[in-house]
Amino acid sequence: QVQLVESGGGLVQAGGSLRLSCAASGNIFRINDMGWYRQAPGKQRELVAVVFSGGNTNYADSVKGRFTISRDNAKNTVYLQMNSLAPEDSAVYYCNAYILTTLRSSYNSWGQGTQVTVSS
């Protein structure tokens, strides 16, 4: 009954920026870590960035210095600000959240995926 709704993807030129957002809704007791993954054609899904409940973050080496992940706990929302985009960043981006619906029930939930295409 938990939904992750993503927005902000699209087509941009190299060097441009996009801001992805993902809002979790439904039967949520608590959200621990939230993150963004991406999967390009022929590639495995990879972690792009994650923000933990305490605010600490981790980034893939390929996006460090260009992407920024943040979260708004009051809105159950995670953001990914993507700057200096390159064609290599083109992929389907997936929102992920580790959600507790109760103290004893948790789910590793995924968004539907949003396409990010960077043209040269």
Nearest alpha-carbon partner for 77 in 115, 21, 8: 21
Euclidean distance between CA atoms 109 and 100, whole angstroms? 10
Contact between 60 and 47 under an 8 Å Cβ cutoff? The reply is yes
CA atoms within 13 A on the CB side of 88: 5
Other Cβ atoms within 10 Å of 3 Cβ, number: 13
CA atoms within 13 A on the CB side of 43: 14
Task: Note the pLDDT of residue 34.
Answer: 95
Euclidean distance between CA atoms 105 and 91, whole angstroms? 31
Task: Note the pLDDT of residue 1.
Answer: 79
Q: Residue 49 to residues 32, 65, 67, 119: CA-CA distances in angstroms? A: 14, 12, 8, 22
Look up residue 110 and give its amino acid: W
Mean pLDDT per 10-residue interval, the chain, length 120 residues: 93 98 94 96 96 94 98 95 98 96 91 96
Task: Note the pLDDT of residue 93.
Answer: 98
